[in-house]
Structure 1
């Protein structure tokens, strides 16, 4: 499921002439922004981590304690997996279904006031959306929903009737009433495991990922200082 990181660079009320393109609306806003293309951005981040000396391991775990004592501190960014991994009952999926189409003549973002209907052109395709279906784990596309999305988007941009190579996509957003960005000290059998949780961002994960990562890093630094203080004290 693609997401976008938006940085608004300019913001203004749409003119009456611009609004004639959207006869079903009486008010609109226009802005200039940056769009983060995650298919390119995430591999770049991975390379950045490796260049900095980071080691990437792929492993399935059922319990955070499986990482102890190999790791002194754990950062939990498991998203929806945290529902079972740390037993968080407030975490739930918000299902998103959208369409990826070829419509290279579409050059501008368009979305309605609710943000539910949108047309987002990208480097290789145009994304049409969407849905917000709470507590729905279904990853299979619904043909009726796809027809509704296409109809809504064509109402905003009639030229999309000519779109081709239409593909359906479904993803689950890890929703929580509030983002969990905090420390926790787990204890078991005399052992302690510091954990920094960073999950539950819903559909805004990419939009706020850098700030969340900086805060998580700050919390990790606090855990490191606490471990060093504890080690120094034990030597006295």
Structure 2
């Protein structure tokens, strides 16, 4: 049974959820404080990377399947690239090989200080293009993203019997959830000097080295700064990011700097995806994906569709 559903938020979680609900035949509206191009999602690095908890691993698999389909559509911004993933901790879990084309590194291939690594062919998502693609899919279904700031969920439940809360870090204030916290990230954007491979480190420190090619752009990272709401780029941090990446790939030393970007990941011990009864309506919370919103987006959106179907059938 088709239902009127209001989605709050126009980042990758909100847009993907709205697309999936529309595909399932529901009448969807989207309210968002910020347009897609100004959300945290727009400045994400865009690499798909599975998570180990069973629920999140299942969501990762669903997203991988959808990205495999979208990679055949050039305007989607989804592309597969081969890259080097390394760690100073341990070998990646064996189930990674079930998801992607991987080859474990030999010791001589590992950068200094790294204990394990693999070469993997993985989805990369050019977020500015990808968000435009999702927005256009909604527009084709005659769904417009309405600019609206929601201060109280009662405003939303007054407008629809089912509300899906995809407000990211904003969910802390909107729901009073004490587990949501901003996790600041910062990137340096270079004109790509011709790299087609990506590089990323999994290390137990707040700063690491990573770069991801998206056509003519190259995104350099990375940093995790919990409880920091600062949106102004830190020049000293940008320089550290740049120098670490140059140490891995010397070609970057001569590359043109195109800009600096900052985003606030919606940090939470684990994503919140559950229904809640409010004011005679149902709010399905779908937030707290931290730095893996892209990875979990299609899987968590399909979970919202399942919950909506259950509610519609009551």
Q: TM-score range by the shorter chain?
A: 0.7 to 0.9
Hey, what's the Cα distance between the residues in 1 that align with 2:233 and 2:284? Answer: 35
Cα gap change, 1:162/1:77 in structure 2, threshold over 3 Å: closer, same or farther? Answer: same
Match of 1:2 among 22, 36, 44: 44
Cα gap change, 1:206/1:74 in structure 2, threshold over 3 Å: closer, same or farther? Answer: same
Q: Which runs of structure 2 are paired with 1:94-113 in the superposition (5 Å)?
A: 94-113=183-202
Q: Which residue of 2 aligns with 1:43?
A: 132
Hey, what's the Cα distance between the residues in 2 that align with 1:217 and 1:195? Answer: 13
Match of 1:120 among 207, 212, 215: 212
Q: Deviations over 1:91-119 (max 9, x none)?
A: 00100011001132222111224293101
Deviation at 1:214, TM superposition (A): 0.4
Cα gap change, 1:159/1:24 in structure 2, threshold over 3 Å: closer, same or farther? Answer: farther
2:202 is aligned with 1:160:
no
Task: Tell me the SS of whatever aligns to 2:271.
Answer: strand
Cα gap change, 1:158/1:213 in structure 2, threshold over 3 Å: closer, same or farther? Answer: same
Match of 2:273 among 156, 181, 191: 181
Q: Which residue of 1 aligns with 2:166?
A: 77
Hey, what's the Cα distance between the residues in 2 that align with 1:5 and 1:154? Answer: 20
Cα gap change, 1:29/1:186 in structure 2, threshold over 3 Å: closer, same or farther? Answer: same
2:288 is aligned with 1:200:
yes
Hey, what's the Cα distance between the residues in 1 that align with 2:187 and 2:47? Answer: 17
Q: Which residue of 2 aligns with 1:229?
A: none
> 5+ residue gaps in structure 2?
1-42, 49-63, 65-98
Hey, what's the Cα distance between the residues in 2 that align with 1:142 and 1:107? Answer: 28
Cα gap change, 1:5/1:27 in structure 2, threshold over 3 Å: closer, same or farther? Answer: closer
Kindly report the root-mean-square deviation, in angstroms, between the aligned alpha carbons of the 2 structures.
2.0
> 5+ residue gaps in structure 1?
227-236
Deviation at 1:15, TM superposition (A): 4.1
Q: Deviations over 1:61-97 (max 9, x none)?
A: 1111112432111110011111111111110010001
Q: Which residue of 2 aligns with 1:232?
A: none
Deviation at 1:3, TM superposition (A): 3.5
Match of 1:52 among 141, 164, 174: 141
Cα gap change, 1:15/1:224 in structure 2, threshold over 3 Å: closer, same or farther? Answer: same
Normalising by structure 2, we get a TM-score of: 0.65
2:310 is aligned with 1:222:
yes
Count of residue correspondences: 220
Task: Tell me the SS of whatever aligns to 1:94.
Answer: strand
CA contact (8 A) 1:116 1:132 kept: no
Q: Which residue of 2 aligns with 1:231?
A: none
Normalising by structure 1, we get a TM-score of: 0.86
Structure with greater Cα Rg? 1
